[in-house]
Chain A
Amino acid sequence: MTPPAVRSTSIRFEDIDKRYGGLYALRRVSLEVAAGECIVLAGRNGSGKTTLLRIAARLVRPSAGKLSFSAQGSDESTVAKSIGFVAHATMVYDDLTAEENLLLFARLQGIAQPVQRVEELLRDVGLFDRRGSLVRTFSRGMRQRVAIARALLNAPGILLLDEPATGLDPQGTAWLAETLRRMGDAGCTIVMSLHGESEISALATRAIRLDAGAVVADTRSGADLRSILAFADA
């Protein structure tokens, strides 16, 4: 079976603010993310990486500013539905099996031939033999693989990953790096926050550093890129 085609998509953040009470999680963030870019977000805990990713996933409404998407030949609402998101939490049900979880989300997303797509992803993440086991019986790394498979179900045009290697062993991290490389090659726009996974950060074509909710560095090349990635890898 041929996986669904990736719809290459760009993202635009315009003067995004996010406040929780009097506290700014993000302050006047403006970014243009070109279609097919692979961006690593770096920054200390609480610098706003997770909030930025959740706003991009349209799970959190910004307090001010505008978020928009564009892809050739698609309207914005269609594009917004082709977002794959891997969060801190696994976003899968412990009381369902790996296969039931993926089938549930595949059917909700209206994916053609969901059974075949799920089988293909289960093989890809190395959990086909455990497809009938409840997720609650999985290790953290196995749960993370299910979480990543869920995010890849609809061959997303935008992939947002919040510390995606959490719980993965070195083989798992290598598999994730290879998967992201393939998605990037297919034209997927990737934005991810990382802590110490140089194998994955090596895929970055751009690095952005956040501090106290503001963008303090944004670079695509040379020593600056390596310096921000080194911060993410630390």
Chain B
Amino acid sequence: MSLFANTTVLLGKELRTEFRSRELLTTTIVFILIVLVLFSFTFDPLSDEARRFGAGLLWLAFLFAASLMLQPCFLREQTNDTLSALRLSVSDPFAIFLAKLAANTLFLLLTELLLLPIFAVMYNVRVLPVLHWIALVFFLGSLGVSIAGTALSAISAQARMRELLLPLLLLPLLTPILIASTEVTSALLDRSPYVQWKGVGFLVAFDVVFLTALWLFGEYLLEE
């Protein structure tokens, strides 16, 4: 079985189990919604301040929500030792990571796109003219969060204090993504929107570097 075939089968399993329970999606959407609503009280929605800080708050909410979403990613595999069954079955262990990070990226993207209109209304920003660029930043940012998060989830799942460890490792590591995504999104939400290519380039580079590292060393993260 090729890497692609294994990944497709595993991605199907991830989607099936999530859409059957909707545990992660529901929790994440509710969490982001609460954060956005709470922060919206601190700004006058008609002010430039809301436009200036909105992107940062949005990405901060995404990041915290992602740490919630990524936590069970490998913990679920420990309940019945299904990770061992997967390791015995796949031809390349990288398929396990690829499927999980693809599923996490999809779930994050779905959450972000569902909440974008609510954010636009609450923070009085126009997103429609730059929607395709925002979608690109969401994709690159979510991919970066998922790659690093999936790797750290595999590490923390085998550690003591696993529930505390993931956010402690994840948030500092994702600070560069937070900064780059916020800057690019902020520029897109400006009164005169523009694409900040430096930030987009950084996000692409982050994704490529971390994906390569995961491909090279991922197998060791799965060992007992």
The answer to whether A109 touches B89 (Cβ under 8 A) is yes
Complex Cα distance A92/B85, Å? 8
The winner among B6, B13, B91 for most chain A CB atoms within 10 A is: B13
Complex Cα distance A58/B90, Å? 13
Q: Does B84 make an interface contact (CB < 8 A)? A: yes
The answer to whether A57 touches B88 (Cβ under 8 A) is yes
Q: Does B1 make an interface contact (CB < 8 A)? A: yes
- Shortest Cβ distance from residue B172 to the other chain A in the assembled complex, whole angstroms: 28
Smallest Cβ-Cβ distance to B23: which chain A residue: A95
Complex Cα distance A61/B223, Å? 8
Q: Name B103-138 residues within 8 Å CB distance of A.
A: none
The answer to whether B6 touches A92 (Cβ under 8 A) is no
Smallest Cβ-Cβ distance to A77: which chain B residue: B91
Residues of B near A54 (CB, < 8 A) are 84, 224
- Shortest Cβ distance from residue A174 to the other chain B in the assembled complex, whole angstroms: 25
Complex Cα distance A94/B89, Å? 18
Complex Cα distance A90/B83, Å? 11
| Range of interface residues on B (Cβ < 8 Å) | 20 to 34
Residues of A near B79 (CB, < 8 A) are 89, 94
Q: Does B20 make an interface contact (CB < 8 A)? A: yes
The winner among A87, A100, A107, A150 for most chain B CB atoms within 10 A is: A107
| Range of interface residues on A (Cβ < 8 Å) | 20 to 34
The answer to whether A108 touches B9 (Cβ under 8 A) is yes
The proximity string for A residues 81-121 relative to B, scoring 1 for CB distances below 8 Å and 0 otherwise, is: 10101011111111110001000110111100000000000
- Shortest Cβ distance from residue B127 to the other chain A in the assembled complex, whole angstroms: 36
Residues of B near A1 (CB, < 8 A) are none
Residues of A near B90 (CB, < 8 A) are 108
Q: Does A5 make an interface contact (CB < 8 A)? A: no
Q: Does B162 make an interface contact (CB < 8 A)? A: no
The answer to whether A91 touches B16 (Cβ under 8 A) is no
Q: Name B47-85 residues within 8 Å CB distance of A.
A: 79-82, 84-85
The answer to whether A91 touches B81 (Cβ under 8 A) is yes
The verdict on A60 contacting B224 (CB below 8 Å), with A100-B16, A104-B9, A150-B85 known, is yes
Complex Cα distance A57/B87, Å? 10
- Shortest Cβ distance from residue B92 to the other chain A in the assembled complex, whole angstroms: 11
Smallest Cβ-Cβ distance to B222: which chain A residue: A59
Q: Does B46 make an interface contact (CB < 8 A)? A: no
Smallest Cβ-Cβ distance to A107: which chain B residue: B9
- Shortest Cβ distance from residue B52 to the other chain A in the assembled complex, whole angstroms: 44
The answer to whether B80 touches A93 (Cβ under 8 A) is yes
The answer to whether A92 touches B9 (Cβ under 8 A) is no
Smallest Cβ-Cβ distance to B81: which chain A residue: A89
Smallest Cβ-Cβ distance to A135: which chain B residue: B80
Chain B positions near chain A (C-beta within 8 angstroms): 1, 5-6, 9-10, 13, 16-17, 20-21, 79-82, 84-91, 223-224
Q: Sort A-B residue pairs by CB-CB distance and give the 7 closest, nearest first.
A: A89-B81, A110-B1, A91-B85, A108-B89, A107-B9, A89-B80, A95-B17
Q: Could you write out 28 A-B pairs with CB less than 8 Å apart?
A: A54-B84, A59-B87, A60-B224, A81-B91, A87-B81, A87-B84, A89-B79, A89-B81, A90-B80, A90-B81, A91-B80, A91-B81, A91-B82, A91-B84, A91-B85, A92-B82, A93-B13, A93-B17, A94-B79, A94-B80, A95-B17, A104-B13, A105-B89, A107-B1, A107-B9, A108-B9, A109-B89, A110-B5
